Structure 1
């Protein structure tokens, strides 16, 4: 049993090393000082991302957050892959202002997700990870207005992300099943 556990840990660490870093980690990353989890709850459509391998082939990607208890949100990530709906559920513990520790089902560890920016109306959000191995622009609607998209790009740039590697996410209007 210990040998199996050690092998799984080594594979997880090796997999982490294979993830690219999309940001200059010498740049300080900042999260939202004033973050309202109740306003953050609800559906967010991914309009662009610095993709991670488990998102490969996904379209119509969205995340739904809901209140579970004080300081903890439920998370459900959904996408269409190869024509079929797929989803994963978990929790997001609030560990600091704009800082979430996200644990998804089947994953051996929790990941740091930092809310870098949310517009005043909580319509558009930018989320990053300190390692720079992922990042997302989220919007309450599948289509984002140009002004908020440009603002989101500025936030990513300010936090050291390489904007040339950002990929737009196809939102074709597929319904969740």
Structure 2
């Protein structure tokens, strides 16, 4: 009887710990605030990755883009594509995003793997929706996205300075090549 109760308590602790861990992935760094007001209709469409902090799920990819479209249920379809320079082929990841609070704030959670979500926080956005800075749940995740595949160096420097001021380690940014798209 004692071992059954101990296992039940351990399972509850494990589930509680897992819930805390997973819910923490939809938070945001304390140094940023999501864009508000946020107009999802203007955000939809194609974005090109100008710079990012390195992480395993995009390692070795160039020509990275994301296409966002609205679903009938209010969620957003996310289609990420990139060219794998080692395998010499296109890679694609399909995901789904939903707003964490309401659609007037640029704080979403996105999933590419079933029920597991992670933060997608638009914390800087040009008024014309041409350039965005996006964070994950921590300052280990940063993307500089633009509507055009290339920005001039003056523009890039300006956005990198904004990210640096927000606490991101911009010395570690990767600038993927943007030379071809399917």
Normalised to the residue count of structure 2, the TM-score between the two structures is 0.76
Alignment correspondent of 1:59: 62
What SS does the aligned partner of 1:110 have? strand
Q: Which residue of 66, 75, 79 maps to 2:78?
A: 75
Match of 1:95 among 79, 91, 100: 100
Give the 4+ runs in structure 1 shifted more than 3 A: 145-148
Q: Distance in 2 between matches of 1:95 and 1:71?
A: 12
- CA separation of 1:70 and 1:120: change in aligned 2, threshold 3 A: farther
3-state SS in 2 of match to 1:164: helix
- Say whether 1:30 aligns with 2:33: yes
2:136 is aligned to: 129
Once the two structures are superposed, residues 114-173 of structure 1 have per-residue CA deviations (whole angstroms, 9 ceiling, x without a partner) of 001110111111101132221100011110134432332132122210111111111122
Residue 69 of structure 1, CA deviation: 3.4
User: 1:61-83: CA deviations, max 9, x gaps?
Assistant: 01000011364211000001121
The 5 Å alignment of 1:127-166 reads 127-166=134-173
2:92 and 2:168 mapped to 1: Cα distance?
27
Matched with 1:86 is: 91
**What's the TM-score, normalizing by structure 1?**
0.78
Q: Match for residue 7 of structure 2?
A: none
Q: Give unmatched runs, 5+ long, in structure 2.
A: 1-10, 22-28
Q: Any conservation in 1 of the 2:52–2:173 contact (CA below 8 Å)? A: yes
Confirm or deny: 8 A CA contact 2:63 2:83 kept in the other structure. yes
* Cα distance in structure 1, aligned partners of 2:154 and 2:126: 11
Q: Cα RMSD (Å) of the superposition? A: 2.2
The 3-state SS of whatever aligns with 1:156 is helix
2:137 is paired with a residue whose SS is: coil
Find the aligned partners of 1:29 and 1:124 in 2 and give their Cα distance. Answer: 17
Equivalent residues, number: 153
The question of 1:167 aligning with 2:170 is answered: no
Q: Does the 8 A contact of 1:93 with 1:101 survive in 2?
A: yes
CA contact (8 A) 2:97 2:110 kept: yes
Matches of 1:108 and 1:91 in 2, distance apart?
10
